[in-house]
Chain A
């Protein structure tokens, strides 16, 4: 039981073969059960469709089945002896940015499907831009439907070149290209004998082996306090523990630490769990930290190293994805959540909107509507302890909440 967890996101429209690909990964890894398969088969027949529509496996809601579209992010699970996989399957059309961004926020790998017949299209670029914006560490471009193009190497090379040219403008570091046929199974789970010219790994081999050990930040110690544990019973009389999930760095017993916002310093006396003490804790572990000195710490505070602190600031610049039908209000006030802190914020400036298909900066039209991405400036009611999103996805991210409706209306990444 030493297998790791890998989260990946897929995006695409109905016709680019995404459902077929997921269906194949699930089916070939024996993650589709007989009764699920039978239910989907019956439903397909009832709808008068030819063959078994594997999309019905992921389209779980009644409205989705009726309209034949995916509305919401669907999570699917499969595992091989090496890894357990969580797929965040996001729809291509409706509410695309909102769903892609949601799926991308926790992903290690983004899987982008390209139809070999069409090459790099708007949707390919959009997905890659979002993957770059959300700093998904690994990008894999599956050039699908190679069977319809005679498994031609030139087609593959052309698409690869087109994509690389476009990707040079993006902030992506690890891109892999795989020519596949999801329908026929070429290079998905087993190697294709139709494309001997391709020397890379199959998709499943890639997913099982891509190095994700460095996807967390192990350098800058960040421990947002989530909950103060005070048992107040005879066995644990003076116990005062700070429960939380390590957001960055490695925390060791005996480390000299500083707490924010107070600025007091102390030493880690103990890293506790129900199974006993630990010598060290690292992301994404949930632990309870005890300090030598009795200082006043509560939820929303952060434990860091004295010589390596996040920025404590009330003025924050964000790349913001907007999710709500009501546009973002300039000078508007919203509730803001960052790690375990809550505050309020004022939108001070909307600098530009970014075209999610071309990266073009729109400086004229600054109305930020649903699915728009914009660069904005906010001022918060109290200092937040932030890192640039590029350095840490946890301490560099925020959500905005409408104070009237309580809906989550935006997601921001600290620049």
Chain B
């Protein structure tokens, strides 16, 4: 008699449990989908959680307009394959309407504008739970995040006053106008995500695999050459073989020199890597507590 699960199956079971709790405890949840591997994983687990029913909530993509083209192609195919409904909140539209103002100058990014658009979409759709793919191993402020993370009527996170979470008991009670952020894959590490996606044969965006691309160095990070990032005179573009370890907005997603062209090669590369995946994210490098500050304001 050997009733034991391996660590990936145990993580899967935990995440499915969380997703079903969301389905049961909330009236109108939404799954935030960025096109990155973590939100791909969460939506895949959501499909498993409610099988053979359809995923009982829509996917919401906050589109900065500054995407890698591959992301959008993948997104549309993926959403169709899991039989979910897709909603899109547009940052460009928010800029045009004057809800937010575009950043100017060096390292300008629409990443920070996403927060206002996200909060507006949540309010518009009357969503009471926003499910996301954040993991505790990603960033130090996220290490203190709960599975069920309460947000006040301004969408703010109060890290010093979080509800304790014990056993399998999740308290999703809230007042009118408040909502929850839900993080079903809190306990997964980057390596767990890759190992699981490999074991389950989940198709992934081509950006994660080594490809030739025009790139340039800025502050020690390799960025993709794009019309959305004005280059300074001393920054020169060259073609290299690279891949993404995270996928976000073009303006803040670093790429890495890599020859890993299969998921197995990616796993080998991560296992021996000495840099965290967010090491290439310029949005985290603005200050020591950049992530915590953004999270308090309602960022994902």
Chain B residue contacts of A35, Cβ below 8 A: 275-276, 279
Complex contact B199–A286 (CB within 8 A): no
5 A-B contacts (beta carbon < 8 Å): A63-B159, A72-B159, A75-B143, A229-B52, A274-B48
A4 is contacted by which of B7, B173, B191 (Cβ under 8 Å)? Answer: B7
Binary interface encoding of chain B residues 209-224 relative to chain A, with 1 for a CB under 8 A from any of its CBs, else 0: 0000000000000000
Complex contact B199–A1 (CB within 8 A): yes
Chain B residue contacts of A65, Cβ below 8 A: 288-289
Which residues 203-240 of A have a CB within 8 angstroms of B?
213, 216, 218, 226-227, 229-233, 235-236, 239
The 8 closest A-B pairs by CB, nearest first: A60-B140, A105-B166, A5-B7, A406-B173, A274-B51, A286-B16, A35-B279, A84-B7
Told that A4-B10, A79-B7, A408-B164 touch, could you supply 8 new A-B pairs with CB distance under 8 A? Answer: A60-B292, A75-B186, A76-B137, A84-B7, A227-B20, A283-B3, A406-B173, A406-B174
A286 is contacted by which of B6, B17, B163, B167 (Cβ under 8 Å)? Answer: B17
CA distance A408 to B149 in the complex (A): 12
Chain B residue contacts of A63, Cβ below 8 A: 159-160
**Whole-angstrom distance from the CB of B5 to the nearest CB of chain A?**
7
B187 is contacted by which of A2, A3, A86 (Cβ under 8 Å)? Answer: A86
Residue of A nearest to B190 (CB): A77
Q: Is the interface of A mostly helix, strand, loop or mixed?
A: mixed
Chain A residue contacts of B101, Cβ below 8 A: none
Is the C-beta of A282 less than 8 angstroms from some C-beta in chain B?
Answer: yes
Task: Give the A-B contact count at a CB cut-off of 8 A.
Answer: 183
Is the C-beta of A140 less than 8 angstroms from some C-beta in chain B?
Answer: no
CA distance A394 to B276 in the complex (A): 35
**Whole-angstrom distance from the CB of B123 to the nearest CB of chain A?**
20
Complex contact B4–A213 (CB within 8 A): yes
Is the C-beta of B171 less than 8 angstroms from some C-beta in chain A?
Answer: yes
Is the C-beta of A83 less than 8 angstroms from some C-beta in chain B?
Answer: yes
Complex contact B143–A60 (CB within 8 A): yes
CA distance A143 to B185 in the complex (A): 35
Known: A86-B187, A226-B24, A299-B24. A105 touches B6 (CB 8 A): no
A61 is contacted by which of B48, B141, B187 (Cβ under 8 Å)? Answer: B141
Size band of the B side of the interface? 35 or more
Known: A43-B288, A227-B23. A33 touches B279 (CB 8 A): yes
Known: A5-B11, A286-B49, A335-B173. A226 touches B141 (CB 8 A): no
**Whole-angstrom distance from the CB of A182 to the nearest CB of chain B?**
20
Known: A86-B187, A227-B20, A229-B52. A406 touches B171 (CB 8 A): yes
Complex contact A406–B175 (CB within 8 A): yes
Chain B residue contacts of A101, Cβ below 8 A: 164, 166
**Whole-angstrom distance from the CB of A130 to the nearest CB of chain B?**
12
Chain A residue contacts of B195, Cβ below 8 A: 1
Complex contact B275–A33 (CB within 8 A): yes
Is the C-beta of B50 less than 8 angstroms from some C-beta in chain A?
Answer: yes
Residue of A nearest to B148 (CB): A408
Chain A residue contacts of B192, Cβ below 8 A: 84
Task: Give the most central of A63, A236, A285: most B CB within 10 Å.
Answer: A285
**Whole-angstrom distance from the CB of A93 to the nearest CB of chain B?**
15
Complex contact A239–B144 (CB within 8 A): no
Is the C-beta of A15 less than 8 angstroms from some C-beta in chain B?
Answer: no
Binary interface encoding of chain A residues 330-366 relative to chain B, with 1 for a CB under 8 A from any of its CBs, else 0: 0000010111100000000000000000000000000
Chain A residue contacts of B2, Cβ below 8 A: 213
**Whole-angstrom distance from the CB of A48 to the nearest CB of chain B?**
15
Complex contact B275–A105 (CB within 8 A): no
Is the C-beta of A50 less than 8 angstroms from some C-beta in chain B?
Answer: no
Chain A residue contacts of B142, Cβ below 8 A: 60
Is the C-beta of B261 less than 8 angstroms from some C-beta in chain A?
Answer: no
Which residues 8-65 of A have a CB within 8 angstroms of B?
33-36, 39, 43, 57-63, 65
**Whole-angstrom distance from the CB of B114 to the nearest CB of chain A?**
22
Chain B residue contacts of A83, Cβ below 8 A: 7
A407 is contacted by which of B6, B144, B163 (Cβ under 8 Å)? Answer: B163
Task: Give the most central of B1, B7, B47: most A CB within 10 Å.
Answer: B7
Known: A33-B276, A62-B292, A230-B53. A408 touches B171 (CB 8 A): yes
CA distance A61 to B288 in the complex (A): 10
Is the C-beta of A156 less than 8 angstroms from some C-beta in chain B?
Answer: no
Is the C-beta of A112 less than 8 angstroms from some C-beta in chain B?
Answer: no
Chain A residue contacts of B144, Cβ below 8 A: 60-61, 72-75
Chain B residue contacts of A408, Cβ below 8 A: 163-166, 171
Chain B residue contacts of A233, Cβ below 8 A: 52
Is the C-beta of A136 less than 8 angstroms from some C-beta in chain B?
Answer: no
Q: Which of A118-126, A147-155, A158-166, A395-403 contacts B (4 or more CB under 8 A)?
A: A395-403
Complex contact B166–A411 (CB within 8 A): yes
Chain A residue contacts of B160, Cβ below 8 A: 61, 63, 71-72
CA distance A382 to B171 in the complex (A): 19
Is the C-beta of A96 less than 8 angstroms from some C-beta in chain B?
Answer: no
**Whole-angstrom distance from the CB of A57 to the nearest CB of chain B?**
7
Complex contact A284–B13 (CB within 8 A): yes
Chain B residue contacts of A250, Cβ below 8 A: 3
B20 is contacted by which of A102, A286, A337 (Cβ under 8 Å)? Answer: A286
A3 is contacted by which of B7, B175, B274, B276 (Cβ under 8 Å)? Answer: B7
Chain A residue contacts of B81, Cβ below 8 A: none
CA distance A63 to B160 in the complex (A): 8
